[in-house]
Amino acid sequence: MTETRMTNVPASGAGLGSGSSIGSGTGPGIDSTAQVAVTGLTIDGPAGVVVAPFDFSIAPGETLALIGESGSGKTLSAKAIAGLLPAGFSARGSIALSSATIELPSTDAVWRATRGRRISLLLQDPFTSLSPVHRCGTQIGMTIDAASATRLSREERTARITQSLAEVNLPAEVARAYPHELSGGMRQRVAIAAALATDPELLIADEPTTALDASNQGEILDLLRGLQEKRGMAALLISHDLGMVRGRAEHVLVMRHGEIVERGVTSSVLNAPSHPYTRALIEADPSLTDRSAGVVRTASGVGVTPAAANADSATGDLVVATDITKSFGDKTVLHGVSVTVGRGETVGIVGESGSGKTTIARCIAGLEHETSGVIEFDGVALATGRASRTPKQMQIVFQDPYSSLNPMISVGRSLKLALRVAGRPASDLNGLLQLVELPTDFASKRPAELSGGQRQRVAIARALAVQPQLLICDESVSALDVSVQKQILDLLSKLRVELGLSILFISHDLAVVRQLADRVYVLRHGEVVESGPCHDVLNAPTHPYTQALVAASIHEAPTH
């Protein structure tokens, strides 16, 4: 298997055009101007080759996108080029920069002279990539100090930090702030300032916006694009999101299982993908294809449309939350929010982080105590807190399937515990696994042996074990790859029809809500700014904020 990969890929690579021909064939310059040329990059893991040899080059000011799902080897490739492979992995090949050529594997001394000054790596999560106990200015200053030959005076360093911050459109006083005082978008700007303070030739950005809200994603990518053009810096953009790449990268490489399966100019790859995997990726990307009208019908197979579900709800709403206000100390996060969920209905709540969307869900679930307002379930008003709710009323599926399952006990035991709560026999276990389309032998596995999508299926099965009337999904697919997202969304729409579930679906991702929800509420700063049938709200938004969200979710880069 490994051997075929090794021999196969250079051949197919040659068939599609070698790496350097991409740079010369369609780029603005010819090969000699290519600032960065990587040849024969191969990564060996503990059990053989994990990334088969591939070549690419990036001209100054241009962006090459490397696309693939998690586990495809794209992040390992990024780390190999930055000399940061984890223990047990080693790289072969060479990296030609305008100032030096690095033969892999290289020594620590070479990397010390390269990292930061010639190649910089920007990580995915701005919430973890900055040290929480150092001021932002200090962290940028560290990069400046590391790269400067002479010791800078205090004034000089401050001036250069201010300049770095200005480049990423942040005010100078951010230098005094700690990362936790800033929003996600601002943190990623600080990280960009820190990564670029030394003027590298190549920036590798590993999923730089995946952890951010939709409206921030575009801004950050455009900022990177602008900085790149200004400096003539080459960029390697690693992403799982094909839609994000449109209009923001000249060329694209598609990687699968450590092999490049397709390469070419971005627009032609997106518009006419030749490899089935690329086609699957494009199809799975919710922002590239609007399936809003189809999902419920196709998945149900029994002709239950959103309209039918709504008609059913005429018998009365399941959850009516009226005028909910919630304050933490003197900070009010919900200002009189009202949400209703009908029987069998799927309701989406959309908003950015800090909009209060999770808080309203937690109030309904009784995990937070609302400051004022009334929550009725099945026509009966519930007191605040968990004590007044029964497991059969509602269950939650959380965002992160890695932390919501107990790693020490098997899937079967987790589910049996949930069945016992509901007073159901343990023999229902197999039926429960089949319900979420998992093989029954998964019962003996532990969460660590499962993929993210499989874990989320287990989490859904656990929630459904007690046969709740309402399922609350709090960003339940946000941590998953697009193709897995689609499978989980399909599962949810199947379940709602089979079980007559009501679903309250919380997400920052309009594209995801679009696929599942009958009705949608758009939350901003703790207030509902718009609500109505999903199709109407998302296709013809009336509030400027919704319009901005919709525009941002389409992933189209503005003209630059």
User: Per rule CB under 8 A, is residue 407 in the interface with another protein?
Assistant: no
**Binding region for another protein (CB under 8 A) out of 63-71, 172-180, 247-255, 524-532:** 172-180
User: Per rule CB under 8 A, is residue 67 in the interface with another protein?
Assistant: no
- Return the number of the residue (104 or 260) whose C-beta is nearest another protein: 104
Structure tokens of 191? 């990280």
User: Per rule CB under 8 A, is residue 115 in the interface with another protein?
Assistant: yes
- Return the number of the residue (171 or 276) whose C-beta is nearest another protein: 171
User: Per rule CB under 8 A, is residue 435 in the interface with another protein?
Assistant: no
Structure tokens of 193? 């300032």
DSSP alpha helix (H) spans, 422-543: 429-435, 452-464, 482-499, 510-516, 534-539
Q: How far is the CB of 220 from another protein (least distance, A)?
A: 16
- Return the number of the residue (129 or 395) whose C-beta is nearest another protein: 129
User: Per rule CB under 8 A, is residue 403 in the interface with another protein?
Assistant: no
Question: No. of H helices and E strands in the chain?
Answer: 21, 20
Residue 307 backbone phi and psi in degrees, to 5: -60, -45
User: Per rule CB under 8 A, is residue 123 in the interface with another protein?
Assistant: yes
- d(CA 44, CA 52) in angstroms, rounded, equals 9
Q: How far is the CB of 88 from another protein (least distance, A)?
A: 12
User: CA distances (Å), 447 to each of 24, 452, 458, 478, 482, in order?
Assistant: 48, 9, 9, 18, 21
Q: How far is the CB of 478 from another protein (least distance, A)?
A: 19
Q: How far is the CB of 111 from another protein (least distance, A)?
A: 9
- Return the number of the residue (104 or 471) whose C-beta is nearest another protein: 104
Residue choice 176, 230, 369, 420 for contact with another protein (CB under 8 A): 176
The interface with another protein within residues 197-236 (CB under 8 A) comprises: 197-198
Q: How far is the CB of 557 from another protein (least distance, A)?
A: 26
User: Per rule CB under 8 A, is residue 141 in the interface with another protein?
Assistant: no
Q: 482-499 and 276-284 helices cross at what angle (nearest 10)?
A: 50
Q: CB 511: neighbour CB atoms within 10 A?
A: 24
User: Per rule CB under 8 A, is residue 173 in the interface with another protein?
Assistant: yes
**Binding region for another protein (CB under 8 A) out of 142-150, 225-233, 360-368, 408-416:** 142-150
- Return the number of the residue (116 or 356) whose C-beta is nearest another protein: 116
Q: CB 291: neighbour CB atoms within 10 A?
A: 14
User: Per rule CB under 8 A, is residue 147 in the interface with another protein?
Assistant: yes
- d(CA 10, CA 89) in angstroms, rounded, equals 21
Q: How far is the CB of 85 from another protein (least distance, A)?
A: 11
- d(CA 304, CA 284) in angstroms, rounded, equals 23
Q: What is the DSSP letter of 135?
A: -
Residue choice 134, 230, 369, 386 for contact with another protein (CB under 8 A): 134
Q: What is the DSSP letter of 293?
A: T
**Binding region for another protein (CB under 8 A) out of 64-72, 128-136, 343-351, 446-454:** 128-136
Q: What is the DSSP letter of 152?
A: P
> What are the b/e assignments for 474-488, b being 16+ CB within 10 Å?
bbbbbbbbbbbbbbb
The interface with another protein within residues 442-481 (CB under 8 A) comprises: none
- d(CA 284, CA 458) in angstroms, rounded, equals 22
User: Per rule CB under 8 A, is residue 51 in the interface with another protein?
Assistant: no
User: CA distances (Å), 93 to each of 88, 105, 299, 323, in order?
Assistant: 17, 8, 47, 62
User: Per rule CB under 8 A, is residue 46 in the interface with another protein?
Assistant: no
Residue choice 116, 185, 258, 264 for contact with another protein (CB under 8 A): 116
Residue choice 128, 271, 274, 315 for contact with another protein (CB under 8 A): 128
- d(CA 508, CA 184) in angstroms, rounded, equals 14
- d(CA 119, CA 482) in angstroms, rounded, equals 29
**Binding region for another protein (CB under 8 A) out of 124-132, 251-259, 297-305, 363-371:** 124-132
Residues that bind another protein (CB under 8 A): 82, 84, 112, 114-117, 120-123, 125, 128-134, 142-143, 146-147, 173-174, 176-178, 180-182, 191, 194-195, 197-198, 329
